[in-house]
Amino acid sequence: MIQNIKNVNYLNLMKHDFSLELFIHSNNVANIAMKMADEIKLCAGEKQILYEEALYHDIGKSKIPEAVLYKKSRLSPDEWEIMKQHTIYSQELYLYVVDNNGNSTEKARIIRHHHENWDGTGYPDKIMGEDIPLHSRIIRIADIFDAITQRRIYRPYRIENPLNLMEEMEGKEIESYIFRKNYYLFKRLLANQ
């Protein structure tokens, strides 16, 4: 699923501060987000912006202690609070590695909000519904899809019915419209795994 990556800043950051698992996950999320963008008919320029935002969405995890990031059991409440900081760190690191201008500030805002939930229960700012930027909502769904269809350090098995799980999240963690517009895309992706 990994496309050719042309962003030199991203490659340099990944080479020094990112695990292979997170590198692959970020690429998967960016590629899934691009396919989702096709389904909801985003224009080419928007898709290019979305790709970059999705690629950088988890770079802040490079600042999370490895004992928390790679813990094989459930995180404690304190550890979970540390983990939730990765969205803010991702925003900060993105602004650090790119030319800081109005466009990069907006992209950083999208990256910050990729764990906001449709119902307002997400983080870091607990925004909800259409107050969550469109690209953040797309990345949220792509992120969840990749996370639940791949083995993880804390879950070395695949979830048996990932679309059923996503249906349970519909209208809560994820926006129903975007999920439904991409439902058959997810079915196709699952069939190819």
User: What residues are annotated to the active site?
Assistant: 61
**Which residue shows structure tokens 């898709």?**
47
Q: What are phi and psi of 170, to 5 degrees?
A: -60, 130
Give me the DSSP letters along 52-80: HHHHHTTGGGGGS-HHHHT-SSPPPHHHH
Q: Rounded to the nearest 10 degrees, how much is the dihedral formed by the CA atoms of 77, 82, 88, 93? A: -160
Using CA atoms, how far residue 165 sits from 59, 90, 120, 149, 159, in Å, is: 26, 27, 19, 11, 9
The structure tokens listed for 62 are 């490079």
The interaxial angle of helices 102-112 and 86-97, nearest 10 deg, is: 160
Query: Closest Cα partner for 11 from 3, 23, 1?
Result: 23
Residue count of the chain, please give it. 193
